A and B are shown apart, each in its own frame.
Chain A
């Protein structure tokens, strides 16, 4: 059974870099058909897609964050990471790692869905 677990500091100073890691157990991040993703949720608010990595190196970032975000993977440790630079209080949120699965396809379209999530980790931005 595949499980995801976020780890990283819960407190980051303004202008510094937020760094989180998602440890994947029970399955390999090198397996095809999966996009290893980061999503955040501001307190009491909705969900915001940050980006993903797949094939151990190809990335996509939400344009609203792309200039500050890097997602990388370490296949030897079976984990992937998020770095968000130059944080402000607006970046305070619960950060989730998630697995997006590329499902079955028909007529040139394929199902996609976030079927596994970590429990989330709260990041506070404060000096």
Chain B
């Protein structure tokens, strides 16, 4: 049981490039989400999904796209990277049975630098 996995661990992009951050979970969780962590800003919610085919925007969705075609995977796409997207990105999942009372399980993070 690997839990929540994220790839890559590190990535450097140039401004304007696009890329996809991968997230997968093997716990059959319905709820998955993406956060970014910046110094002094805590964990900010980017997008979330309550099940395959269903996604919604979080606090800071601009510049990011998501889709959820399977229960296991929830990729985050940066369409045209900007230096303001330099951050550490965390994917999380939870069972989705109890809304906000669920315990979330986080991946190890992807450190992204945009030059």
Determine if chain A interacts with chain B. Answer: no
Give me the interface of B with A, judged by CB distance under 8 Å. none
